[in-house]
Amino acid sequence: MASKWGQNIKKLLVRTIDLPQDVMMDLPRITMIGQLHIYIENHRGLLAFTDTEVRLMLKKGQLLIRGNEFVIRTILPEEIMLQGKIDQVFFIKE
């Protein structure tokens, strides 16, 4: 009950004070530049990396990115920039 109440308060604050939802709701922010780059903010860690697949932990679930020739250009505790040919981006709910 408290968790649902807290989520409703956060949604109300987002609407009232016009904060971005990703900030208040602890959601990932994903920016793609064509099929060549993807920049993910607010993730919880790198779970797997190959040249064809990247899996990131999110607060609720995981993010799976599939493609070819992946290279990590930038990696910070809550940010990652990936370069390569991006074919698919999936949210996996746990």
Alpha-carbon gap, residue 39 to 23, rounded angstroms: 16
pLDDT in tens, the chain (94 residues): 556 777 777 676 666 665 555 555 578 999 999 999 999 999 999 999 999 999 999 998 999 999 999 999 999 999 999 999 999 999 999 7
Picking from 67, 83, 86, the residue whose alpha carbon sits closest to that of residue 75 is 83
Tokens of 56: 């990131």
Q: Which pLDDT belongs to residue 39? A: 97
**Dihedrals phi, psi of 37, to nearest 5 degrees:** -135, 145
pLDDT at 14: 64
User: Residue 4: its pLDDT value, please?
Assistant: 74
Predicted local distance difference test score (pLDDT) of residue 27: 86
Structural domains for the chain: 28-92 (2.60.40.2000)
Predicted pLDDT at 13: 62
- Tell me the one-letter amino acid at 80: I
The count of C-alpha atoms lying within 13 angstroms of the C-alpha of 19, restricted to the half-sphere facing its C-beta, is: 14
Give the per-residue pLDDT at 1. 52
Residue 8 region, left (φ>0) first, then alpha (ψ -120 to 50), else beta? Answer: alpha
Structure tokens belonging to residue 54? 């990247």
